[in-house]
């Protein structure tokens, strides 16, 4: 009997129920990272004011579970800790019929679908919710440029460029420093604008130089540069090393030769000085030898030893005859 009475009351409420319509004026909004998002939600109800008014905002990110952003029932509101310092709740929604909220300091992780749900008993029929898709825009971060491959002529070289951040995902363009120091589009190679890769096949001296990659989206752009230079092969490097070693050896030999020549010249100068001094010494020894006999001088050898002369021998013979 009680079950039957419950069903009768329920069908009576449904038959006499009023309608509610929840509307979101903007179904899609874009907000730049760090700015505030104004999520508009209004409702129309035949019940002017109800103490049982319920408003709920929920959020679903990409590949994530649903989470509550804001909840109001019977005048009591609940704001989760993640939004407590960022969310501005609606003001007097029962009288203004406005359930809009504001979320400040939007981040890329806040992008997704936000749903506004309103119940105003006894209004239980009609459109009770509306959704808004929020895109959080972010300027590309400074990309990183790199070179891959053999830098010798005739080989494949790949230039890569990638920004870690950026929403929507940035596209990439490559330019090259021209003859007038002006960046011009790359007239050769294959460019992948979504991956940021530039493929240069059969690289030659005409492709060497300074390259610039620009990462761009609707918010802004950032760039990086990389320089392509001819890479020396193993044979060239080995030749340079051998040449350097031979040059060092030649310098050492020149230093040794100059040092040896100077020593030799110094030795010869010393010997010449000694030869010039020796005759003067011999003459002095001869002058110091005492005279012998009636005014005759004894001859001396080169070592200063007295030597008999023919006049000396004749004088001695005469002296012996006289004594006899």
Residue 276, pLDDT score: 66
Residues 29 and 133 in one domain: yes
Report the phi/psi class of residue 227: left, alpha or beta, with left for phi > 0 and alpha for psi in -120 to 50.
beta
165 CB-near residues (< 8 Å, 6+ apart): 108, 138, 140, 141
Residue 267 clears pLDDT 50, i.e. is over it: yes
Residues 133 and 196 in one domain: no
Q: Which residue reads 């030898």 in tokens? A: 289
Residues 258 and 173 in one domain: no
Residue 257, pLDDT score: 81
Residues 130 and 27 in one domain: yes
Q: Is residue 321 part of a domain?
A: no
Residues 49 and 77 in one domain: yes
Q: What total number of domains does the chain contain?
A: 3
Q: Is residue 241 part of a domain?
A: no
- 181 vs 176: CA distance, rounded Å: 9
Residues 60 and 30 in one domain: yes
Q: Is residue 309 part of a domain?
A: yes
Please state the rounded mean pLDDT for residues 196-202: 88
Residues 27 and 133 in one domain: yes
Residues 185 and 93 in one domain: no
Residue 99, pLDDT score: 96
CATH of the domain at 87: 2.60.40.10
Output 160 or 46, whichever has higher pLDDT: 160
Q: Using the 3D structure, point to which of 105, 121, 137 is the last residue of a domain.
A: 137
- Structural domain that includes position 36: 18-137
- 127 vs 117: CA distance, rounded Å: 9
200 CB-near residues (< 8 Å, 6+ apart): 156, 157, 158, 159, 188, 189, 207
Residue 16 clears pLDDT 60, i.e. is over it: no
Residue 279, pLDDT score: 55
Q: Is residue 320 part of a domain?
A: no
Q: Is residue 240 part of a domain?
A: no
Output 154 or 258, whichever has higher pLDDT: 258
Instruction: Give DSSP secondary structure letters for 94-154.
Output: HHH-B--EEE-S--GGG-EEEEEEEEBTTEEEEE-EEEEEEEEEBPPPPPEEEEEE--STT
Please state the rounded mean pLDDT for residues 267-278: 69
Q: Is residue 237 part of a domain?
A: no
Residues 198 and 170 in one domain: yes
Q: Is residue 9 part of a domain?
A: no
Residues 127 and 159 in one domain: no
Q: Using the 3D structure, point to which of 177, 196, 228 is the last residue of a domain.
A: 228
Q: Is residue 3 part of a domain?
A: no
Q: Using the 3D structure, point to which of 105, 137, 169 is the last residue of a domain.
A: 137
Residues 89 and 176 in one domain: no
Please state the rounded mean pLDDT for residues 278-301: 48
Residues 194 and 130 in one domain: no
Residue 105 clears pLDDT 80, i.e. is over it: yes
Residue 240, pLDDT score: 58
pLDDT band at 249 (very low <50, low <70, confident <90, very high): confident
């Amino acid at each position: 009997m009680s079950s039957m009475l419950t069903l009768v009351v329920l069908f009576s409420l449904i038959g006499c129920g009023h309608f509610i319509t929840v509307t979101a004026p903007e179904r899609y909004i874009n907000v730049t990272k760090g700015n505030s998002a104004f999520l508009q939600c209004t409702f129309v109800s035949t019940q002017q004011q109800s103490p049982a008014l319920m408003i709920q905002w929920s959020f679903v990110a990409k590949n994530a579970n649903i989470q509550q952003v804001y909840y109001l029932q019977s005048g009591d509101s609940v704001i989760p800790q993640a939004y407590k310092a960022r969310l501005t709740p609606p003001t007097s929604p029962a009288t203004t019929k406005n359930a809009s909220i504001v979320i400040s300091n939007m981040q890329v992780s806040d992008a997704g679908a936000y749903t506004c749900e309103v119940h105003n008993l006894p209004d239980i029929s009609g459109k009770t919710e509306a959704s808004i898709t929020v895109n959080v825009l972010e300027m590309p971060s400074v990309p990183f440029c790199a070179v891959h491959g053999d830098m010798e002529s005739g080989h494949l070289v790949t230039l890569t460029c990638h920004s870690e951040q950026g929403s929507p995902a940035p596209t990439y363009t490559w330019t090259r420093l021209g003859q007038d120091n002006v960046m011009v589009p790359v007239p050769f190679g294959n460019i992948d604008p979504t991956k940021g890769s530039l493929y240069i096949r059969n690289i030659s001296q005409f492709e060497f130089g300074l390259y610039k990659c620009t990462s761009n989206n609707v918010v802004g752009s950032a760039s990086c540069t990389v320089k392509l230079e001819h890479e020396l092969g193993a044979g060239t490097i080995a030749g340079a090393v051998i040449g350097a070693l031979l040059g060092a050896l030649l310098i050492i030999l020149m230093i040794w030769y100059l040092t040896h020549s100077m020593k030799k010249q110094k030795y010869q100068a010393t010997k010449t000085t000694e030869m010039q001094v020796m005759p003067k010494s011999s003459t002095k020894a001869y002058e110091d030898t005492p005279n012998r006999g009636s005014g005759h001088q004894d001859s001396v050898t080169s070592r200063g030893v007295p030597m008999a002369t023919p006049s000396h021998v004749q004088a001695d013979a005469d002296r012996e005859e006289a004594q006899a």
